Copies of this chain bind each other. A is one copy, B any other.
């Protein structure tokens, strides 16, 4: 029989989800449970960040020794992979179905996806690192696919359009959550942090050279409202661009299909 530890040591093992899963539900004295472990991990990740999470601290949070966790999980990485998938589950897929046409549904999904990434700043690096093939991530993927299908694009173009939209959302969510958590870490409001960054740039001639064409814009933005509003407004407009682009491509494909 292959032991759990051996499986985990296999360098070709790409994901927890590609293993035959054992439930190991917790009838033990500590009332432990993989769900409870993952939930605690998520809480700690949200509060302290990815770098600060350790098995010992996580165990302490659950009033247990570090090694107890290994009964439910093969490695620390597995906990994080479970956490990632659990957080994918926070995206409200029912709300997507409730929305109108594909444009609305895509918007609702994109907004909720981004909100999720920003709410959990550790998610972006993790989601970029692991194969996201847990049940919740797959469900989100399926919903994205469903949404794109209704655009009317030919099937072999749909994955490409999916990428255009949701890789953008991922990238955007990444830098936004990055920015926000840096600001929080520095103990500043987002507006303050933005202002300080601009000021630091302005003092450095090297930056000014490369960014010269941008400075007017940066100033204008700094004085123009809260940073949060700018994030929202830019995101919205980018989605407009994507919707418009898809519409054009649909028209083109159908024109090509009918022989011009």
Q: Does A242 sit within 8 A of B, measured CB to CB?
A: yes
Of listed A169, A216, A241, residue having the most chain B CB within 10 A: A241
CA distance A233 to B244 in the complex (A): 21
Which of A25-33, A60-68, A149-157 is the contact stretch? A149-157
Contact B125 A157 (CB under 8 A): no
Least Cβ distance of A8 to chain B in Å?
Answer: 14
Q: Is the CB of A241 within 8 A of B12?
A: no
Interface size on A, residues (CB 8 A): 72
Q: Are B185 and A135 in contact (CB under 8 A)?
A: no
Enumerate A128-176 residues with CB–CB distance to B below 8 Å: 128-129, 131, 133, 135, 138-139, 141-142, 145-146, 149, 155-161, 163-164, 166-172, 174-175
Expressed in whole angstroms, the Cα–Cα distance for A162 and B166 within the complex equals: 15
Tell me how many chains of this kind the complex includes: 2
The secondary structure that dominates the A interface is: helix
Q: Is A207 an interface residue (CB 8 A)?
A: yes
A-B contact pairs, 29 of them (CB 8 A): A14-B182, A131-B178, A133-B201, A133-B207, A135-B207, A138-B207, A138-B211, A139-B210, A145-B211, A146-B213, A149-B213, A155-B217, A156-B217, A156-B221, A161-B237, A164-B238, A164-B241, A166-B171, A167-B171, A167-B174, A168-B171, A170-B171, A170-B174, A171-B174, A237-B249, A241-B246, A241-B249, A242-B245, A244-B252
